Amino acid sequence: MAEIVIKDLNKKFGEFTAVNNSNLTIKDGEFFVLLGPSGCGKTTTLRMIAGLELPTTGKIFLDNKDVTFLRTSQRDIAFVFQLFALYPHMNVEKNIGFPLKIQGVSKRQIKDKVIEVSKMLHLEHLLKLKVSGLSGGDRQRVALGRSIIRRPKAFLMDEPLGALDAEFREMMCFELRKLHNDINATTVYVTHDQIEAMSMGDRVGIMNKGIVLQADDPLTIYNKPKTMFVGKFIGSPAMNFIKINSVIQKGKKSIKINDRKIEIPKTHEDSKATCHYLGIRPENIVITNDGEVRGKVFGVEYLGAHQIVTADTEVGRLKVRTSSHIQLMINDTIGLHFLPDNIIIFNGETEVALKSQFIL
Ligand code: ATP
């Protein structure tokens, strides 16, 4: 097991900066997910941790040891690309035991280890079969077995479930997380799928344009985004943003938009920016006749237990998540109430959340 620390990490490809002064500590035994849009620098960060790419500047520590310039083979980590990259001519037992064979471990010890790992992955009954005849899910378990058999200090996984269909993906997410709970090795998992990230990670690091913007547990990432980017990127539908063309004074309890008074959480700071945004999640807006803002229903998406209502209001177009029991028609006039304890105020110039009783 290992703690991974990256310090002021930069990677340039020519003039282009792929990773921009990243700082991150991944705790010993943690399942840490790096999440962000395509091209934001997730894979490059992972490849630098693995030693497959050298940083332009900055350092990487594994268990307090500076490994920045060590070869991959000297770092004692396992890099998992796609779980089903196996040797088709070998049977399951030989595939799983292969990493120990090339390390020169004795046949007896390999056999014992293969049995231990195959029990963990429910593969005992398949050991003598060729991998080419296995189902996709079983092949991936074999590949996982091969990567955990030598018990590396850390696992680095780059979109390992990317090529799977939805059903297998869901099953493997669950199994990977369970396996992590059993062996407890530090894992860094790269994905661009927010559901995968939020359901698997102990913590999720949100990256954009080469920078880790926020690294927190999934609940904090969802409820307390520190930037507008995180509020937009996480959640479906995304956070709503209501523009306010005024400064924000410390301790203020409400603001006016178009003569409508909206309660806000007390901020701990004055903000002189000329524009701000109130960020509010769709489920924190309540449809009620005496709401502080009025609007008209523009669209309704029925999603089973709940529905997403799009409303054109005095403060802009908003998405509301509400129970499907409420019957609404296009063009219905509705009132909307914003739950003040769930509003995040963002500086409109920097797009960073103001410090408040909820965001510290
Ligand atoms: P994806 O999910 O699409 O793989 P990512 O977040 O993993 O995206 P990276 O693969 O880390 O992104 O790439 C970050 C940026 O660096 C991209 O714009 C990519 O084109 C660029 N890049 C990556 N590797 C190289 C390279 N060897 N040479 C030049 N540019 C590169």
Domain ranges of the chain: 4-228, 239-347
C-alpha 44 to ligand 1 mean position (Å):
6
DSSP 183-201: H--EEEEEES-HHHHHHH-
Determine if ligand 1 sits within 6 Å of the CB of residue 5. Answer: no
The C-alpha atoms of residue 97 and residue 127 are separated, in whole angstroms, by 11
Helix, strand, coil percent values for the chain (each to nearest 5)? 30, 35, 35
201 confidence band (pLDDT: 50, 70, 90): very high
pLDDT digits (tens, 9 = 90+) for 54-70: 999 999 999 999 999 99
Contact 150, 73 (CB under 8 A): no
CA-41 nearest atom, ligand 1: 11
C-alpha 42 to ligand 1 mean position (Å):
8
Distances (CA, A) of 319 to 240, 265, 297, 298, 302: 7, 21, 10, 10, 13
Question: To test ligand 1's pocket by mutation, which of 6, 9, 12, 13 has the most ligand atoms within 8 angstroms of CB?
Answer: 13
CA-36 nearest atom, ligand 1: 6
CA-190 nearest atom, ligand 1: 7
pLDDT digits (tens, 9 = 90+) for 229-265: 999 999 999 999 999 988 898 888 888 887 788 899 8
The C-alpha atoms of residue 166 and residue 195 are separated, in whole angstroms, by 12
Contact 19, 10 (CB under 8 A): yes
CATH topology for the 4-228 domain: Rossmann fold (3.40.50)
DSSP 16-36: EEEEEEEEEEE-TT-EEEEE-
Determine if ligand 1 sits within 6 Å of the CB of residue 197. Answer: no
CA-40 nearest atom, ligand 1: 6
The residue whose CA has the least distance to atom 1 of ligand 1 is 38
Determine if ligand 1 sits within 6 Å of the CB of residue 38. Answer: yes
CA-192 nearest atom, ligand 1: 2
Contact 208, 40 (CB under 8 A): yes
**Interacting residues of 166 by C-beta distance below 8 A, sequence separation 6+:** none
CA nearest neighbour of 189 among 61, 83, 118 = 83
DSSP assignment letter at 63: T
What tokens were used for 11? 């990677």
Strand partners, 219: none
Determine if ligand 1 sits within 6 Å of the CB of residue 313. Answer: no
Pairing of strands 57-62, 4-13: antiparallel
356 confidence band (pLDDT: 50, 70, 90): confident
Question: To test ligand 1's pocket by mutation, which of 9, 16, 193 has the most ligand atoms within 8 angstroms of CB?
Answer: 16
The residue whose CA has the least distance to atom 10 of ligand 1 is 43
Pairing of strands 186-191, 31-35: parallel
pLDDT digits (tens, 9 = 90+) for 94-115: 999 999 999 999 999 999 999 9
What tokens were used for 232? 């937009």
Question: To test ligand 1's pocket by mutation, which of 17, 33, 42 has the most ligand atoms within 8 angstroms of CB?
Answer: 42
Contact 95, 86 (CB under 8 A): yes
Question: To test ligand 1's pocket by mutation, which of 17, 43, 45, 54 has the most ligand atoms within 8 angstroms of CB?
Answer: 43
Distances (CA, A) of 267 to 15, 125, 247, 347, 359: 40, 60, 12, 12, 9
Determine if ligand 1 sits within 6 Å of the CB of residue 47. Answer: no
What phi and psi values does residue 277 have, to the nearest 5 degrees? -130, 140
Contact 212, 205 (CB under 8 A): yes
Which helix (H) or strand (E) segment holds residue 202: the answer is none
C-alpha 13 to ligand 1 mean position (Å):
9
pLDDT at 257: 81
pLDDT digits (tens, 9 = 90+) for 207-222: 999 999 999 999 999 9
CA-207 nearest atom, ligand 1: 6
287 confidence band (pLDDT: 50, 70, 90): very high
What phi and psi values does residue 341 have, to the nearest 5 degrees? -70, -10
Q: Supply the pTM of this predicted model.
A: 0.89
82 confidence band (pLDDT: 50, 70, 90): low
The residue whose CA has the least distance to atom 7 of ligand 1 is 43
What tokens were used for 145? 């077995």
Strand ranges of the sheet holding 203-208, from the earlier edge strand across to the other edge: 77-80, 154-158, 186-191, 31-35, 203-208, 211-216
49 confidence band (pLDDT: 50, 70, 90): very high
The residue whose CA has the least distance to atom 9 of ligand 1 is 41
Domain covering 239-347 in this structure, CATH number:
2.40.50.140
What tokens were used for 289? 């006749």
pLDDT at 221: 96
The C-alpha atoms of residue 138 and residue 52 are separated, in whole angstroms, by 28
Task: Give the residue carrying structure tokens 């995304």.
Answer: 238
The C-alpha atoms of residue 229 and residue 210 are separated, in whole angstroms, by 13
The C-alpha atoms of residue 321 and residue 46 are separated, in whole angstroms, by 36
Determine if ligand 1 sits within 6 Å of the CB of residue 40. Answer: yes
The residue whose CA has the least distance to atom 28 of ligand 1 is 13
The C-alpha atoms of residue 316 and residue 169 are separated, in whole angstroms, by 37
